């Protein structure tokens, strides 16, 4: 009995020693997010170009005026285990527009009477390991290129390594965009990224990046109808069983290399980049795309004057932009601050534009914009913007010129509290002769927005 008691005492002492040697897990919880809702009055945006058809989509004569409400909530939770370890998550809940549905299942639903829809979107789920030697991010993360997002700006699954030096930074990553082959990893859609930046002086920095995208994913088979055998009562034609022709896997191997720079020249801060693509778009088509950009900002009369110019090749020099099942994942060029010529930063689920991405249906883009931002008071900020756009190469051979149109827009925001902003944003586009012959109405769009950030 005495021996057993001694053994118990030794075991208890050992357990206490281990318990005191292991530090308690102090988990720091971080919650953040945003709420946005807006009222939209427009003859374009709800039926506009989402990048899946042509520049003409949403443009028509006697275009009806629509009015609708859009709502989005984003919720983020980060579990901070230590200064070196953090789990990052972000979720999204949308109503495409109020009144769209209720008692339903699917993304962007539930905006109608009764609500009770099952819908939540997962945006980000990734682990961040921040050590002196290297920062590592693993999982589904937000990632954009180093060229103002003209190539990609999206959520993607992968692993990204980075390290900051006193005057420089480097990063390398691998991302899997898609994988639909019978043997996982064999017919995949992948990207390798390399990025470096160097601060030459406090006011001048340069950078370079390389992105390799390899898409060997499977393509859907082509199904052709057989001969028509009859007509249903409602007029729907009936066809005999047709043929299904399997398609070869994609054979995309696109290399994108570019240089970027930003620096002050007197009172003006200039930024820009050059990008060149090479490789294969398919087994029979070379990748030859390129893009050039120059932007400028300067303080003026208590505000900021800014401008952007972008040229993207078209035709044989069409600029490759990666896409997902939801369409183009980047190329929106939000720096131009357009509402309809480019994708609107406030568009949420109804995301439309005359130039949806920089590939622009293989036509490329010539675009310029100028804007002015001013803090009118400590609570009110306003901006005014003007921009033009044209196709670099008129692949569709429409109209009498390459000119797409000119947009003017204005925006004003009132800070109700440090976290709540009420704003209005409106614009009008004068269509160019690219659309001559359609007799389409000039598009307009007006939004009244409410935003909460926490």
Q: Write down the pTM of the prediction.
A: 0.87
Q: Are residues 235 and 184 in the same domain?
A: no
- When divided into structural domains, the chain yields a total of 2
Q: What is the pLDDT of residue 50?
A: 54
pLDDT band at 7, cuts 50/70/90? very low
Q: What is the pLDDT of residue 96?
A: 93
What is the distance between the alpha carbons of residues 300 and 282, in angstroms, rounded to a whole number? Answer: 49
What is the distance between the alpha carbons of residues 124 and 64, in angstroms, rounded to a whole number? Answer: 38
Q: What is the pLDDT of residue 61?
A: 87
Q: What is the pLDDT of residue 17?
A: 43
In a domain? residue 10: no
Q: Are residues 405 and 428 in the same domain?
A: yes
Q: Are residues 300 and 231 in the same domain?
A: no
Question: pLDDT tens, 53-110?
Answer: 677 767 888 888 999 999 999 999 999 999 999 999 999 999 999 999 999 999 999 9
Residue 203's Cβ-side half-sphere holds a number of Cα atoms within 13 Å equal to 7
Position 244 pLDDT exceeds 80: no
Q: Are residues 173 and 232 in the same domain?
A: no
In a domain? residue 280: yes
CB 340 within 8 A of CB 171: no
CB 170 within 8 A of CB 159: no
Helix (H) / strand (E) containing 21:
helix 2-21
Q: Are residues 228 and 95 in the same domain?
A: no
In a domain? residue 92: yes
In a domain? residue 430: yes
Question: pLDDT tens, 286-340?
Answer: 999 999 999 999 999 999 999 999 999 999 999 999 999 888 888 889 999 999 9
Q: Are residues 302 and 448 in the same domain?
A: yes
Tell me the range of 23-37, 43-57, 392-406 where mean pLDDT is highest: 392-406
Position 23 pLDDT exceeds 60: no
Instruction: Taking residues 218-228, report their average pLDDT.
Output: 75
Q: Are residues 257 and 401 in the same domain?
A: yes
Per-position DSSP letters for 135-181, written without gaps between them: EEEEEEEEEE-SSTTSS-EEEEEEEEEEEE-SSEEEEEEEEEEEE-S
Q: What is the pLDDT of residue 75?
A: 98
Place of tokens 């293989």: 362
Please give the residue that has the higher pLDDT: either 34 or 64.
34
Position 4 pLDDT exceeds 60: no
What is the distance between the alpha carbons of residues 340 and 445, in angstroms, rounded to a whole number? Answer: 8
What is the distance between the alpha carbons of residues 45 and 340, in angstroms, rounded to a whole number? Answer: 8
Domain boundary (250, 274, 299) is at: 250
pLDDT band at 45, cuts 50/70/90? low
Question: pLDDT tens, 160-179?
Answer: 999 999 999 999 999 999 99
In a domain? residue 244: yes
Question: pLDDT tens, 124-161?
Answer: 999 999 999 999 999 999 999 999 999 999 999 999 99
Residue 129 CB coordination number (10 Å): 13
Q: Are residues 114 and 204 in the same domain?
A: yes
Position 5 pLDDT exceeds 70: no
DSSP, res 6: H
Strands 303-312 and 365-375: antiparallel
Angle of CA points 110, 105, 58, to nearest 5°: 65
Which of 5-14, 138-147, 259-268, 367-376 comes out lowest in average pLDDT? 5-14
Q: Are residues 137 and 265 in the same domain?
A: yes
List the domain range (segments joined by +) for residue 123: 28-216+251-453
Please give the residue that has the higher pLDDT: either 217 or 82.
82
What is the distance between the alpha carbons of residues 354 and 333, in angstroms, rounded to a whole number? Answer: 13
The domain that contains 36 carries what CATH number?
A: 2.40.160.100
What is the distance between the alpha carbons of residues 339 and 41, in angstroms, rounded to a whole number? Answer: 13
Q: What is the pLDDT of residue 110?
A: 96
Reading the block at residue 70, the tokens are 């859009």
Question: pLDDT tens, 336-369?
Answer: 999 999 999 998 888 889 999 999 999 999 999 9
In a domain? residue 90: yes
In a domain? residue 12: no
pLDDT band at 10, cuts 50/70/90? very low
In a domain? residue 6: no
């Amino acid at each position: 009995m005495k021996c057993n008691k001694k053994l118990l005492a030794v075991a208890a002492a050992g357990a206490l020693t281990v318990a005191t040697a292991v530090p308690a897990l102090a988990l720091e919880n971080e919650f953040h997010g945003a709420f946005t809702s807006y009222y939209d009055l427009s003859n374009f945006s709800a039926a506009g170009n989402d990048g899946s058809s042509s520049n003409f989509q949403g443009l028509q004569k006697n275009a009806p005026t629509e009015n609708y409400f859009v709502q989005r909530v984003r919720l983020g939770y980060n579990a901070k285990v230590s200064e070196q370890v953090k789990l990052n998550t972000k979720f999204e809940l949308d109503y495409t527009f109020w009144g769209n549905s209720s008692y339903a299942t699917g993304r962007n639903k539930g905006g109608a009477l009764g609500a009770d829809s099952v819908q939540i979107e997962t945006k980000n789920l990734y682990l961040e390991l921040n050590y002196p030697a290297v920062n590592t991010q693993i999982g589904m993360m937000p990632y954009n290129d180093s060229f103002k997002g003209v190539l990609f700006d999206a959520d993607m699954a992968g692993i990204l390594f980075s390290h900051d030096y006193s005057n420089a930074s480097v990063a390398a990553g691998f991302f899997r965009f898609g994988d639909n082959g019978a043997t996982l990893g064999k017919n995949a859609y992948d990207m390798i990224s390399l990025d470096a930046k160097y601060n030459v002086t406090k006011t001048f920095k340069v950078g370079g990046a390389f992105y390799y995208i390899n898409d060997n994913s499977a393509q859907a088979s082509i199904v052709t109808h057989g001969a028509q055998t009859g007509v249903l009562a409602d007029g729907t034609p009936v066809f005999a069983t047709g043929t299904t022709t399997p398609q070869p896997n994609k054979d995309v191997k696109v290399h994108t290399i570019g240089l970027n720079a930003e620096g002050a020249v007197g009172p003006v801060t200039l930024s820009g980049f050059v990008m060149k693509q090479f490789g294969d778009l398919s087994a029979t088509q070379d990748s030859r795309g390129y893009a050039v950009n120059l932007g400028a900002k300067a303080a003026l009369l208590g505000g900021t004057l800014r401008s952007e110019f972008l040229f993207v090749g078209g035709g044989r020099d069409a600029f490759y932009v990666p896409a997902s099942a939801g369409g183009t994942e980047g190329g929106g060029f939000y720096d131009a601050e357009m509402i309809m010529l480019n994708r609107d930063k406030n568009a949420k689920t109804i995301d439309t534009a005359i130039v949806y991405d920089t590939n622009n249906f293989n036509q490329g883009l010539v675009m310029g914009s100028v804007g002015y931002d001013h803090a009118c008071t400590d609570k009110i900020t306003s901006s005014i913007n003007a921009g033009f756009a044209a196709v670099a190469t008129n692949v569709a051979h429409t109209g009498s010129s390459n000119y797409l149109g000119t947009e003017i827009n204005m925006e004003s925001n009132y800070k109700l509290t440090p976290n709540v902003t009420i704003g209005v944003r409106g614009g009008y586009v004068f269509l160019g002769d690219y659309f001559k012959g359609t007799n389409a109405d000039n598009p307009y769009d007006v939004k009244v927005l409410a935003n909460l950030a926490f």
